[in-house]
Structures are given as structure tokens and as C-alpha cells.
Amino acid sequence: MKTKFFFGGLAVLVLLAICIPAYNWNHSNIARLRNSGKTQMAPIIMVPGSSATKNRFDSLITELGHEAPQTHSVLKLVVQKNGKISTTGTIRRNDNQPFIVVSFENNKDGKSNIDKQAVWLSTAFKQLVQTYHFNHFSALGHSNGGLILTLFLEKYLKKTPSVRVDKLMTIASPYNMEEKSTTHKTAMFKELYAYREGLPESLVMYSIAGTENYNSDGTVPYNSVNFAKYIFQDEIKNFTEITVTGANTAHSDLPQNKQIVSLIGQYILRENFHRGMGQTQGK
């Protein structure tokens, strides 16, 4: 009987010795195969907020150039009301993470315009993919630019199924518009919430709020930025909320805020910045 138990236990150990390395190899091989189809180019698509032009991120890009190990080329698009697109700048050869700013001739505020701008972003995106042949990207939106990007990811990215989004970062994006209440839901939030299941499950998202007084950044209520969690949590791979306080946390200053520049470098560009990040809070 003891001999039978001995050989039975030995057989189990041999089986485990074979299966565990095979299991680990299989998982690593699947990950390798999944990543092997990625293009080297993975642009950072940036969308400004309402009333902002194609030059909205100039200070941010300059600051990133000072802090990042390498500089990145910049391409700027303006989508006209009729869907035609004008461009300035170029993407440097072998620049795998260029900045592409997509702005709009009609850059007015309001839900109806944000809905239109999401459609125009889709038009520009299709042209970019056809021209530069990338199949993954990251995105950065300031203020209403974050809402435009969210609508785009929910409703329109699926129209180019060969392309996926890696990361999204929104800065002071009012997911419940100007509403300060924690209970009243605006029409904009209701639309974003209704289409949340269209968000890519593999998305990693960072929502940044700036606060001058822990209530708002002077323009967007903190509670409105905080409504992002109801849209993204449980729908995507990972959602992180970050609050930035201190100097230069007024709404218009946030894109070039030193702490946020460091966050962009760390989480979007995946580059090491030497500057300290200051006071941040993550959830």
C-alpha cells in the first residue's frame, strides 16, 4: 500500500513539474503574440476643450520637451464644420510617439456641440489611421476635450476595429458639466453613462482633477470631475483618479502644471522625469 502511495505521489509531482512550466510558457507566449502585432507608432492624440484652438497644448508640449528624455514631433489638425481637415506640422520619421492635436473650427461649449465634435474627431481619426498606419494609440483631453474623447471611445472607435486605445488621461473634464451636486445628473452625464459599455475593456484611464480650494479649479466643480468614476469603473481594465493641488491649479493652467506634466510623462509617455511630482492623491 505504501509503495502504491509513493508512486502515486511521484506521478503527481512529475505531472506538476511538466504542467506548471507549460502553463507559464503558454501565458507568456500568448502575451508575446498579442503584443507582436502592435505597430511601433503609437501616437498621443490630444483634444483641447471648448473655445481652445490647436495651440492649446503648446506650453504643455514645450514643458514635456524640457523634462522628457526625448522630444516628440507635433502634428495639428483643425476639423472644419463640413468635415474637411487642415493640418500644420509634421511627424518626424522614426518618432513612435508623436503628439497629434485634433481641434475644431466649431469649438463652442454645450452638449450638442460636444456631440458634433466627437463625430468630427472620428472623421479625423480615420484619416490619421489611413495616413500613418498605426493600430494603437493613447489620448489626452483637457476639459471638454476629455468628454469628446470619451464619447469617441464609447461610440466611434469601434468603426476602426483594427485600432485599439492603450491609455486615456483627462484633465479637469466635467463629466457632469457645471453641476456641483453629487446627486443631480445632467444630460451630458446621462449620455456618457448610457454608452459606457462601448468603452474598450483593455483601456487604462487616468482622471485628473485640479483644486484651488477642494471644491473646484475655479471653473469646473470637483464633484463633476469625480463623476468619471461612474462611467469608467467596472467597464475598463483600470481607472485611477488623481487630485492635484497647490500652485497653478486653476482650470486654464492645469495642462502645463508641473505635477501634471510629470504625470503625463510617467503614465502616458512612460518616460522617466527627474522633476518631483508634488502633492497628488490617487484613488
Least confident of 13-17, 81-85, 162-166, 167-171: 13-17
Neighbours of 5 (CB within 10 A): 9
pLDDT score recorded for residue 37? 87
Q: What are phi and psi of 160, to 5 degrees?
A: -120, 75
Least confident of 28-37, 148-157, 209-218: 28-37
Per-residue pLDDT, averaged over 92-98, amounts to 93
What's the mean pLDDT in 211-223? 85
C-alpha dist (Å) from residue 148 to 49, 93, 179, 211, 221 = 9, 29, 18, 22, 18
pLDDT score for 216? 86
- Please tell me the predicted confidence (pLDDT) of residue 253: 87
Mean confidence (pLDDT) of the chain? 86
| pLDDT score recorded for residue 32 | 43
* pLDDT above 70 for 249: yes
Contact 71, 44 (CB under 8 A): no
Structural domains in the chain plus CATH codes: 41-282 (3.40.50.1820)
Cβ atoms of residues 168 and 200 within 8 Å: no
CA–CA–CA angle 133, 85, 42 (5° rounding): 30
The yes-or-no verdict on residue 61 having pLDDT over 80 is yes
Q: pTM score, two decimals?
A: 0.83
Q: Given a cut of 60, is residue 7 above it in pLDDT? A: no
pLDDT of 269-282, one tens digit each? 876 655 444 334 34
In the chain, the amino acid numbered 224 is S
% of the chain exceeding 70 in pLDDT: 82
Per-residue model confidence (pLDDT) at position 55 = 95
Q: What are phi and psi of 123, to 5 degrees?
A: -60, -45
| CA atoms within a 13 Å half-sphere pointing along the CA-CB vector of 69 | 7
Average the pLDDT over each of 77-91, 163-177, 191-205, 243-257 and give the range with the smallest value: 243-257
* Mean pLDDT, residues 225-242 taken together: 97
- Asked if 56 and 146 touch (Cβ cutoff 8 Å), the reply is no
Higher pLDDT, 177 or 278: 177
What is the mean pLDDT of the segment spanning 147-159?
97
The more confident residue out of 103 and 29 is 103
Phi, then psi, of 82 in degrees rounded to 5: -90, 5
pLDDT band at 1, cuts 50/70/90? low
Is 8 a residue whose pLDDT tops 60?
Answer: no
252-269 burial, b if ≥16 CB within 10 A, otherwise e? bbbbbbbbbbbbbbebbb
Check pLDDT > 70 for residue 219.
yes
